[in-house]
Structure 1
Amino acid sequence: MIDFINVSKVYGNGVKALSNINIHIDKGEFVFIVGSSGAGKSTLIKLLLKEEDPTDGKIYLNDMDITKVKNRRIPYIRRNIGVVFQDFRLLKNKTVYENVAFAMEIIGSSSKEIRRQVPMMLSMVGLSNKAHSYPDQLSGGEQQRVSIARALVNRPTVLIADEPTGNLDPDTAWEIMRLLKEINRRGTTVLMATHARDIVNAMRRRVIALEKGRVVRDELKGVYDYEV
């Protein structure tokens, strides 16, 4: 499903963000990526999204070596990956429905398909009654649910959640985690980068810990060890 094979990343300023990373993630896994700021979590995500290229090594997504693809193929690769951000990144001048529909419009989906798929996604995240609301009329948790619906509307095989609970209160954070668990139960592979120790320790899913660009721990049913 996802393979990082001997992957290193050195930025132009000489910063070594990742060093000889080897990670295999199976289809349908739920994996936490943890580590302190600067550990390499963001670089790992950027490499998978083809926002950056590795200095060394290979990265496979759905059995395709994405380190070798031409630039014109990158949008097609990204269709297989949905992304949820800490700060939601919703379009303020568009309604909830329009925000989710926009993700389909940019890949050329038909109006018929958009009319069918968007209401399904809004129902899944519990926001059918907010379809005509604007982002500033929503709570933080509701905005994150819109972000999740937008990330999933094109039916990606992988969902990357980059600190998705970072701007939410604890109760709302757990609502989002329950939603992510359900999405994973339906078959989507979920990678979640987080500092939320309580969530990681309660969920007891696979934990990959990074430190100074290296994998220092990879455990099934792991915990967030701050001493790592």
Structure 2
Amino acid sequence: MIKFENVSKEYNNNVRALTNVSLDIRKGEFVFLVGSSGAGKSTIIKLLLKEEEPTEGKIILNDMDITKVRNRRIPYIRRNIGVVFQDFRLLPNKTVYENVAFAMEIIGVHPKEIRRNVPMVLSMVDLSRKASSFPDQLSGGERQRVSIARAIVNSPPVLIADEPTGNLDPETAWEIMRALSEINGRGTTVLMATHAKDIVNHMKKRVIEINEGKIVRDEQKGGYGDGISSI
């Protein structure tokens, strides 16, 4: 599903963000990506989203080598990945329904399918009653659930969650984790970058720890690790 083969990334300022990283995430897995700030988590995500290119190595996504593709192929690659961000990134002048529908509109989905799918995913994240609300009328947890709905409405095989609970109180954070767990239970592969030590320790999923651009730990049903700063 997701495979890095000896991937390194060096930025133009001679900062080496990743060094010889190899990992293999299988279809349907839920994987936590942990490590201190600046360890390389964001670079891994940017490489998957084709926002950056690796300096060395190969990246496979959904059995396709995405290491070197033409720019016109990048939107197609991104359609196969749903992304949930820490800061929600909702469109402030669109309602909840419109925010989710927009993710389908921009890839040319037929209006009939949009009208069928959007209510379904809003129900999945328990936001049906908020469909006509605007983002500034929602709580932080509700905004994040809209973000999740938008990320999964096109049924991507992979969902990347980049610090999705970082701006939320503990109770709301667990609501988001329950939603992500349910999505994973439906077959979506989830890769979540996080500093949330309590969540990682409680859920006992696979943990990949990165430190100074190198994978230093990869274990099934792992914990956050005592050596990592939970900031």
- Give the TM-score of the pair, scaled to structure 1: 0.99
Aligned to 2:211: 211
Measure the CA separation in 2 of the matches of 1:107 and 1:62: 19
The alpha carbon displacement at 1:226 in A equals 3.6
Measure the CA separation in 2 of the matches of 1:173 and 1:97: 22
Measure the CA separation in 1 of the matches of 2:101 and 2:62: 26
The alpha carbon displacement at 1:69 in A equals 1.4
Aligned to 1:78: 78
SS in 1 for 2:181: helix
Where does the alignment leave 5 or more consecutive residues of structure 1 unmatched?
none
The alpha carbon displacement at 1:66 in A equals 0.1
Aligned to 2:127: 127
Measure the CA separation in 2 of the matches of 1:52 and 1:30: 24
Name the amino acid aligned to 1:50: K
Where does the alignment leave 5 or more consecutive residues of structure 2 unmatched?
none
Measure the CA separation in 1 of the matches of 2:46 and 2:77: 13
The alpha carbon displacement at 1:197 in A equals 0.2
Aligned to 1:177: 177
Aligned to 2:192: 192
Measure the CA separation in 1 of the matches of 2:190 and 2:81: 10
Measure the CA separation in 2 of the matches of 1:165 and 1:225: 19
Count of equivalent residues: 228
Name the amino acid aligned to 1:66: I
After the TM superposition, list the runs of 4 or more consecutive aligned residues in structure 1 that deviate by more than 4 angstroms.
Answer: none
The alpha carbon displacement at 1:26 in A equals 0.2
Measure the CA separation in 2 of the matches of 1:91 and 1:174: 24
Measure the CA separation in 1 of the matches of 2:210 and 2:86: 20
Q: What's the CA shift string for 1:147-180, capped at 9, x where partnerless?
A: 0000001110000000000000000000100110
SS in 2 for 1:3: strand
Name the amino acid aligned to 1:44: I
Aligned to 1:60: 60
- Please say if 1:224 is aligned against 2:224: yes
CA-atom RMSD in angstroms = 0.6
The alpha carbon displacement at 1:132 in A equals 0.2
Name the amino acid aligned to 1:124: M
Aligned to 2:11: 11
The alpha carbon displacement at 1:125 in A equals 0.4
- Matched residues, percent identical? 77
